[in-house]
Structure 1
Amino acid sequence: MKFMNRVKLRQLEVFVGIFQRKKIAAAAASLGMTQSAASIALRELEHSIGAALFDRTTRSMLPTKAALDLLPIAERMLRDARLAVGMFRSGSDPAARLGIAVTPTIAQTLLPGLLQEFLRHHPDVEVDILDVPPSRFVMTMVSGQADLGLGYVGAEEKDLRQHRLLSDQLCLVSRRVPGTPAGPSPTWKSIQNLPLVLIQPGYGIRALIDDTAREAGISLKISHEVSLLTTALAMARIGLAHTIAPSQIAGMGMFPDLDARRIGAPVVRRDMSAVFAVDRSPTPVALKFLSHCRETLKRAPLND
């Protein structure tokens, strides 16, 4: 309660704005404030919590560890405040709102189609999309910022209740060359000398790839590292390098010129799931969306 009494929502808005835009002036402009007013709000927030939130440089504001810890709390408080204001202004039913946390790759591939059909049958539902990096996905769900999440989550995540939607597997993804006959199915040993573009360590499926390569006794030839799997797929599409990705993502229509072949010895599976926080009861509209996802994706091949 003391934290709530000292901290104002406007200060949190300024903090989140600076975190996103890296500059006080840009954050102030987006909030309709003067730069000096934004600077004062940030200083007051830092004084209230007793920690510096940014390291100031001549070019940008670099978030500190305290800022990274505060960000999910601030985003949740601001989201709840907007929800409360919108609910009482419009008289809308809070049960008709759905917050979905999703990793960028799912946001750019599977989610749009799922949402389009769902909203066609449920036009009264207001949807908030929180597209977050994989490193913040679990925290976003556990902290209650979203009602439901969609992503690739390891079985070791005990804070999340998982409902498998797709059973997928890792594939070698390459540029498709028309008229070229399909070669033998690749193995982890056979791809070790191929130039690969992979997502950076600590992101998404990278840990799974590294663990599998280590268990196979090989060292992969990584020519490029990127933050988003869709970037890796786009680079593979023009033939810059090969990549490794789940087959369902590689087979999406936005990447029509790619060839995805299951990597064997061993076959590595990666389930895409809908998730809920274990200590929170799913909302009725979240359960409706889960049912919709299951029905829509059941036509996709499951590799059990």
Structure 2
Amino acid sequence: MELRQLSHFLAVARRRSFTLAAHDVNVVQSSLSASIRQLERELGATLFDRTTRRVELSPAGRALLPIARHILADARAAKAEISAVQGLLRGQVALGTIQMLTWIDLPEVLARFTKAYPGVEISLLEAPVDEMIEALRSGELDLAYLACGVDELPAALTVIDSDTEPLAVAAGPDHPLAGQPGVRLADLEAEPFVEFQAGTGLQTVVDRLCHDAGLKRRIVLRTTQLELLASLVRHGLGLAVLPVGVAHQAGLTAVPIIGNTADRTVALVTRAGHDSNPAVRALLDLLRPDPAG
């Protein structure tokens, strides 16, 4: 049993898809499938129940899941201890993020970090909030940007910084709302909506916001891709509730929401003990907002 195989197993368990998991771990799907088959042969058990439409953990897979997380967390801790001895010549940082991150230019920051510390390996995970929280707790992730209420986080996690951003109704340029100074959510009962993927922090906040406003959305399309969602809204196929900055970046009209407090909180989160990894400390120096800015 190899650490690589366990990493592949966790990716499939998290994504419930060999295609998406292969993308996450940066291997071709055939290699990922072969790795899982080899692990199953070594353990003498089927880890996933596969159908043409879904991939689910088998009883054996569910039993292996916490063990695999524990083994990989111990391996990451060992690497952190070695990197502490070696300085930043070597090391590893695992960072989780959300698609709709407007707080910071993350690719630019990671490029600067890689240039300054070329020996440090960075892995980046994009996943629903619950999965990233579990990955933080198990040690798969060192840091993560989460779109959720700070008071909703488990006690084992620590908020390093947070930012609140307003939400708005995003509309295409030809939609009648595009010229309005504001709109009440309750007045949009007849409008079609496009929804971002279930399980994300944004979707949870939007569900709560619409419920409080008495709006039963007529959701006509759901997507996991921000670019597709923006294109659907732009072409008039539905409205969406998005952070104002995201709507503007996508070229959509952001119509202010009247009558309800409409915002979401994005937090940079870690778990206790992150300071033992010098690579994490170095990355945090770049991720923290500049007080002078």
Report the TM-score, using the length of structure 2 for normalisation. 0.73
Taking only aligned residues, the RMSD between alpha carbons, in angstroms, comes to: 4.0
Aligned position for 1:99: 94
Q: Report the CA distance shift for 1:18/1:211 in structure 2 as closer, same or farther (over 3 A).
A: closer
Query: Matches of 2:121 and 2:50 in 1, distance apart?
Result: 38
- The sequence identity of aligned pairs, in percent, is 24
- Unaligned stretches of 5+ residues in structure 2: 20-26
**Cα pair 1:100 1:130 within 8 Å, conserved:** yes
Aligned position for 1:206: 203
CA deviation after TM superposition for structure 1 residue 146, in Å: 1.8
CA deviation after TM superposition for structure 1 residue 133, in Å: 2.9
CA deviation after TM superposition for structure 1 residue 275, in Å: 0.4
**Cα pair 1:165 1:297 within 8 Å, conserved:** no
**Cα pair 2:142 2:280 within 8 Å, conserved:** yes
Query: Matches of 1:195 and 1:86 in 2, distance apart?
Result: 49
Aligned position for 1:42: 40
The equivalences for 1:104-115 within 5 A come to: 104-106=99-101, 110-115=105-110
CA deviation after TM superposition for structure 1 residue 149, in Å: 0.9
1:189 aligns to what SS in structure 2? helix
Query: Matches of 2:47 and 2:222 in 1, distance apart?
Result: 29
Aligned position for 1:191: 188
**Cα pair 1:192 1:220 within 8 Å, conserved:** yes
Aligned position for 2:269: 275
Query: Matches of 2:168 and 2:36 in 1, distance apart?
Result: 48
Aligned position for 2:23: none
- Structure of larger gyration radius: 1
1:12 correspondence with 2:6? yes
Report the TM-score, using the length of structure 1 for normalisation. 0.71
1:286 pairs, out of 255, 275, 280, with 280
CA deviation after TM superposition for structure 1 residue 147, in Å: 1.6
Aligned position for 1:302: none
**Cα pair 1:196 1:221 within 8 Å, conserved:** yes
Query: Matches of 2:270 and 2:168 in 1, distance apart?
Result: 28
2:158 pairs, out of 140, 158, 161, with 161
CA deviation after TM superposition for structure 1 residue 274, in Å: 0.8
CA deviation after TM superposition for structure 1 residue 214, in Å: 1.7
The equivalences for 1:1-304 within 5 A come to: 9=3, 12=6, 15=9, 20-21=17-18, 29-30=30-31, 39=37, 41-45=39-43, 47=45, 52-57=46-51, 59=52, 62-64=55-57, 66=59, 67=61, 70-71=64-65, 74=68, 77=71, 81=75, 93=87, 96-106=91-101, 110-120=105-115, 122=117, 125-154=120-149, 155-159=151-155, 160-177=157-174, 182-252=179-249, 255=250, 257-277=251-271, 279-282=272-275, 283-295=277-289
- Unaligned stretches of 5+ residues in structure 1: 1-6, 300-304
Q: How many residues align?
A: 275
Bigger Cα displacement from structure 2, 138-147 vs 224-233: 224-233
